[in-house]
Amino acid sequence: MKFILENTDQKSKARTGVVKTDHGDIQTPIFMPVGTAGSVKAVHQRELTYDIKAQIILGNTYHLYLRPGLDVLEKAGGLHKFNGWNKPILTDSGGYQVFSLAGTRKITEEGVLFKSHIDGSKHKFTPENVMDIQRSIGADIIMAFDECTPYPCEFGYARKSMEMTHRWLKRCIDQVDSTEGKYGYSQALFPIVQGSVYKDLRKQSAEFVASCGREGNAIGGLSVGEPAEMMYEMTELVTDILPEDKPRYLMGVGTPANILECIALGVDMFDCVMPTRNARNGMLFTSEGIMNMRNEKWKDDFSPIDPNINSHVSSFYSKAYLRHLTVSKEILAAQIASVHNLSFYLWLVAEAREKIKAGEFAVWKDEMVKKVSRRL
C-alpha cells in the first residue's frame, strides 16, 4: 500500500491524497461505510458503487470471525469474493466489540477471553491470532489489536492500557511481518494511537506509533462519550505527531460536523455507523441540515430529499414519499434513507477534497458545519 500526499490547505491542516491498494485507489479525505457482518446494512453492493460512490468499506473482525466463520471465508477466497465487493476493504481488529462485552470478557497480557454474543461459546483473541484472522478475512488494511478505553477513564488505567496496547502492537507487527496473505495481494497494518483524553499519554502513544513506520496510522479511543472539543484537541495533538506521508485514520467518527472539523485537523480517513443506524430510525443528514422523517412537516413536501446530492435516491424520491414509508414502517424506508445518508457523507468528503484543492476549504468548512448541524 502506498500513500501519495497531493494538496495541503493553506489556512488549516486539511489535505488531499491517494491511498493506493491492490484493489484500487482511495481518494482522501474519505468516509468508509461500515459493513459489520460483510454487508452495509440495507444497501446493495451495486448502490455502494454507483449511487453512493463508496471507495472502501469496513468489515468487522469480531462478527465475521463468529459468523460466517473463517472456514467459510477461506473457502470463498476471502471477503471480497464472498460479498462481491471488488474495491478495498478495511477490517477493524475486533477489539472494540470485545471490550464492549464488559461482563463476559477477561483481559490479560496474553489477550482477551470472551464469550460469543450469539451462543455463549468461549473464544480467545490475541495480537497474533487477530492478525491471522484478518489475513483470512482478506482485508487490504488490517488494524492492530488494541484496548479501546472507555470515557471517563482514570489516568492510571489509561496509562496501563496504552502500554499494553503498545506491547500488543509489537506482537502484531512481528506476526504480520512473519506471515503472508492468503489471497495473493498485499495487506497493510495500521497501528492505533490510544491514551484516552490525557495529552501526555496521547503524545507518548502517537510518538510510539509513528516510530513503528507502518503504511498508515489510526487514532482510536475517541468519540466514546467525551465532549467534541476534547476529541478535537486530542486529534490535533496526535495529527501533529503522526508522519505527514502516511494516511491518518480517525476511528468511529462521526457526525458530518465532526468529520469536517477533523479534516481541518489533518485526518484523511473516517468511518462511523451513524449514517446507516440513524437512517433506520428515520433521521436524514442533508446538505441543508438534519431531517426527522417522522415529522408532520414533510407530509406533503414533494421536493426531492436533497437535490444537491448527485445520487439517484436523493434526487428521485420526495420527502413526502419517504415520510410515508417511514411512518408505515416499510423496509424500503430504511433502504432509501441508508443510501441517501451514505451518499451525503461521500458527497461531503468529495466536496471537502475539491475545496482543499481549490484553496477554499477553511471558509467553506465553517459555513458547512453550521448548515449540517441544524435541525430542519
In this prediction, residue 209 has a pLDDT band, given cuts at 50, 70 and 90, of very high
- Which grid coordinates are listed for 155? 489516568
pLDDT of 350 above 80: yes
Pairwise CA distance, residues 357 & 339, whole Å: 27
Location of C-alpha cell 478505553: 149
- Vertex 268, ends 369 and 310: CA angle to 5°? 60
CB burial of residue 241 (10 Å; 0-12, 13-18, 19+): middle
pLDDT of 102 above 80: no
In this prediction, residue 94 has a pLDDT band, given cuts at 50, 70 and 90, of confident
Residues 238 and 219: beta-carbon distance below 8 Å: yes
Residues 15 and 5: beta-carbon distance below 8 Å: yes
Q: What's the pLDDT score for residue 217?
A: 98
| Average of per-residue pLDDT across 234-260 | 97
Pairwise CA distance, residues 129 & 271, whole Å: 24
Q: What's the pLDDT score for residue 97?
A: 75
In this prediction, residue 96 has a pLDDT band, given cuts at 50, 70 and 90, of confident
| Average of per-residue pLDDT across 125-145 | 98
Task: Check: pTM over 0.95? Answer yes or no.
Answer: yes
Annotated binding residue 177:
no
Return the DSSP state at 145. Answer: P
Q: What's the pLDDT score for residue 150?
A: 87
In this prediction, residue 66 has a pLDDT band, given cuts at 50, 70 and 90, of very high
Q: What's the pLDDT score for residue 229?
A: 96
Residue 271 a catalytic site member: yes
Q: What's the pLDDT score for residue 95?
A: 75
Q: Per residue in 289-303, pLDDT tens?
A: 999 999 999 999 999
Catalytic residue, chosen from 92, 140, 268, 306, is 92
| Average of per-residue pLDDT across 125-148 | 97
Per domain, the residue ranges of the chain are 2-276
Q: What's the pLDDT score for residue 307?
A: 96
Average pLDDT, the chain: 96
User: Beta-strand (E) ranges in the chain?
Assistant: 2-8, 15-21, 24-28, 30-32, 57-60, 89-92, 105-107, 112-115, 122-125, 141-143, 188-190, 192-193, 217-219, 248-250, 269-271, 283-285, 290-292
The amino acid sitting at 371 is: K
Annotated binding residue 287:
no
Residue 174 a catalytic site member: no
Can you give the length of the chain in residues? Answer: 376
Annotated binding residue 194:
yes
Pairwise CA distance, residues 351 & 372, whole Å: 13
State the first-to-last Cα distance of the chain, in angstroms, to the nearest integer. Answer: 42
Superfamily of domain 2-276: Queuine tRNA-ribosyltransferase-like (3.20.20.105)
Annotated binding residue 96:
yes
